[in-house]
Amino acid sequence: MYAYDEIDRTLVNERVSEFRDQVRRRLSGELTEDEFKILRLQNGVYLQLHAYMFRVAIPYGTLATNQLRALAHVARKYDRGYGHFTTRQNIQFNWIKLAELPDALEDLAKVGIHAMQTSGNNMRNVTSDQWAGVAPGEIEDPRIWSELIRQHTTLHPEFSFLPRKFKIAITASDHDRAAIKIHDIGLRLIKNEKGETGFEVLVGGGLGRTPFIAKTIKHFVHGRDILSYIEAILRVYNQYGRRDNIYKARIKILVHELGIEKFSREVEEEWQHIRNSSLQIDDEVIEDIRSRFSYPPYEKLPHMPDELRQAAADPDFEAWRKNSVSPHKNQGYAIVTISLKPIGAPPGDATAEQMDALADLADKYSFGEIRVGHEQNLALPHVAKRHLPALWKALDKLGLATPNVNLITDIIACPGLDYCSLANARSIPIAQELTRRFANHELANLIGRLHINISGCINACGHHHVGHIGILGVEKNGEEVYQITIGGRADENAVLGNLIGPGVKFDEVADVVEDIVEAYLALRERPEELFMDTVKRLGVEPFKERVYATR
Amino acid sequence: MTSPLEQKKIKIAGPSIVTANRTWDGIVVYRTAAKSWSADLSEAAIVRNSDEAKALLAESVADDVGAIGPYIAPVQVGADGKIEPGNLREQIRRTGVTIGQSAQV
């Protein structure tokens, strides 16, 4: 966990007071909506179909139990008893009243949570690997650098009015769980030949209307220079990024139009002006941040405790363990992913009761820490293996032990037309129907790793472009129509999916996905060949034939 | 959502209303003939041509403290005068999410 200092606490508290005054002036009519809109957006407050929506940041996906309880409290007191975890390590409340928002913010501020820069054309929540600090083979904890960037960019005047929103993600593992290649800046923490910490810097990734996979702009930037290098990128973007056309304003368009070589030359030139300035980071600064992260007092524990050996006789426990429990860097411990994708439920939703109960379980079994991943699931990062059977029983009672992590029912979906004012089509009911179709866990395991991503409009909050199966809802002649892509992925081998053919109607989507899956099962060369491998081997055609032969 | 500014050239194909979200709590509201807002669609003022629509929208935009983001939306008016939303978006705004969220709500 990271402990905020007095400066952070003061900043967050002052922000609450400021926003309280802004809301008061808005409700009294002193501020018009045009004047107020940018202020509310800078505090994570959107207007959606039914109500205001309040987006709260969970920096690099790390939550303490008192923070999770505070989110449960906000869900219960100010909303309708649940929250929705998003694809960028945020949580959203869908029914909040503007008049009560300052109180909700104040309650969150007491535990160091805020909503600053969760919206607007500024630097958004810096995201990272939800297994940071505990993943085997990780180079070092990427959250230290995430926190450095968070501190530097929070309320930074130069980054508060960018041409468009700006998102950074950081990973420090070979396997990218932070989806860095679909971010404006992606940072891959590496060591150089001298053993010094630095980053491969990628730029210009993003989805939405015009998707791009990020390109490497520099193969190694020393850790001490990372702030100045990021700032150089942002300065070039601030100078050349388009402000006349919202659809061409993201940095990915600038990188594409200038070309990565020209863009990198511009950045390099800017960087030379500022790299030896106060932006160069002293080791003491990093060490100070590092010292504010606390790590559990791990014990020396056996790799295979008796409790785990005995529980292995229970097939339900084993199914969950094999699916949801992952290796930890310390022997005797495990990382437990908690699926927020129960069959038939909206992906990523958690009730206040679940959040409270999970906080209790995290106190009991995970040194008081919870993680949030971009796949809209949670994780307990420090569970002693001997506690896994007891934890599983407790999670099962809460409806939080669905053994479907990384399987076909572990669907990423945006809120879609049920909530979102930008959406053209519904996402959640499609996800619900698909989870019902593939509810049989034996079938889901037979299919193996398969990610479905659903977006209700071209803005792609459900990351459909990088779903193994991507589903994009659009509106055509007043009807919801869904375009299906296959072959996308968001990891270290990120690639955009390919369209398989004409869009299909709402009622046909689940049938089409079933057809694609049946085709895959028939076409794969062996059970270990994953869906993505089959698509890579054969391309789109055989799937297209299967889907459209009878339509 | 189409903003009022984008709706300067207003063309309506049938009976329409003006809808928005109430400022203090964000709930869905409809402009009434009494120059007020109501959460009840049956109380919405119906406009049937571009001039009427433009006037109702202008009046709604002017009430910035009462509601935000007003726009014109199509409706269907039955023979008995009953007003129904004219598209799925407005249906969802009126009746709520379609996802059967009994466990959460």
Residue A428 has its nearest CB partner, among B27, B65, B99, at B99
Q: Give pLDDT tens digits for A72-129.
A: 999 999 999 999 999 999 999 999 999 999 999 999 999 999 999 999 999 999 999 9
Residue B7's pLDDT is what?
A: 54
Best B99, B102, B105 member to test A by mutation, with max A CBs in 10 Å, is B99
B40 Cα to chain A: minimum distance (Å): 14
Cα–Cα distances (Å) from A449 to A10, A228, A452, A541, A547, in that order, read 45, 39, 10, 21, 21
What is the tens place of the pLDDT at every residue in B50-69? Answer: 999 999 999 999 999 999 99
**Rounded CA gap, A112 and A4, in Å?**
7
Per-residue pLDDT band for A8 (boundaries 50, 70, 90) equals confident
Check CB contact of A459 with chain B, cutoff 8 Å.
no
Residue A431 has pLDDT above 80, yes or no: yes
| Mean pLDDT estimate for chain A | 97
Task: Give the CATH architecture of domain A142-291.
Answer: 2-Layer Sandwich (3.30)
CB contact, 8 Å: B79 with chain A? no
Domain residue limits, chain A: 6-61+78-109, 142-291, 306-397, 412-548
Spell out the residues 6+ positions from residue A200 whose beta carbon is closer than 8 angstroms to its own.
A187, A188, A190, A216, A218, A219, A220
pLDDT, residue B5, reads: 47
CB atoms within 10 A of CB A180: 27
Chain A touched by B13 (CB under 8 Å): no
Q: Which of A30, A54, A76, A98 to mutate to test the interface with B (most CBs of B within 10 A)?
A: A98
Is A301 in the B-facing interface, judged by CB distances under 8 Å?
no
* Min distance B25 CA to chain A CA atoms (Å): 4
* pLDDT over 90 at A1, yes or no: no
Contact A473, A461 (CB under 8 A): no
Q: How far apart are CA A148 and CA B57, in angstroms?
A: 48
In the structure encoding, which two tokens stand for residue A16, read together?
């609450």
In chain B, where the domains are located = 5-79
**pLDDT, position B103:** 41
Q: Is B87 on the interface with A (CB under 8 A)?
A: yes
Å from A270 to nearest chain B CA?
A: 39
In 3D, which of A44, A102, A40, A91 has the Cα closest to residue A67?
A: A91
Edge-first strand order for the sheet with A45-47 is A45-47, A52-57, A90-96, A82-85, A349-351
Q: Kindly state the helix (H) or strand (E) to which residue A511 belongs, with its residue range.
A: helix A509-523
**pLDDT tier at B11 (50, 70, 90 boundaries)?**
confident
Rounded Cα gap, residues A176 and A348, in angstroms: 20
What's the gap in Å between the CA of A159 and the closest CA on chain B? 27
CATH classification of A412-548, choosing from 3.30.70.20, 3.40.50.2300, 3.30.2270.10, 3.30.413.10?
3.30.413.10
State the count of interchain CB pairs (< 8 A) between A and B. 79
pLDDT digits (tens, 9 = 90+) for A208-232: 999 999 999 999 999 999 999 999 9
- Per-residue pLDDT, averaged over A324-339, amounts to 98
| pLDDT for residue B102 | 39
What pLDDT is stored for residue B10 in this prediction?
Answer: 81
Mutate to test the interface with A, among B89, B104, B105 (most CBs of A within 10 A): B104
Residue A4's pLDDT is what? 82
A417 touches chain B (CB under 8 A): yes
For residue A373, the model assigns a pLDDT of 97
Say whether B104 and A351 touch across the interface (CB within 8 A).
yes
Q: What is the pLDDT of residue B8?
A: 59
Closest residue, chain B, to A54 (C-alpha)? B26
Q: What is the mean pLDDT of residues A453-459?
A: 98
What pLDDT does B6 receive? 54
Give the residue, A181 or B101, on which the prediction is more confident: A181
Chain A closest-CA separation from residue B36 CA (Å): 16
Is the interface score ipTM higher than 0.85? yes
A32 and chain B in contact, CB less than 8 A: yes
Select from A26, A30, A50 the residue whose CB has the most chain B CBs within 10 Å, as the one to mutate to test that interface.
A50
Identical fold at A142-291 and A306-397?
A: no
**What is the DSSP track for A375-436?**
TS-EEEEEEEGGGHHHHHHHHHHTT---S-TTSTT--EE--GGGT-SS-SS-SHHHHHHHHH
A306-397 CATH = 3.90.480.20
Residue A53 scores a pLDDT above 70: yes
Instruction: State the nearest Cα–Cα gap between A340 and chain B, in angstroms.
Output: 13
- Do the Cβ atoms of B28 and A29 come within 8 Å? no
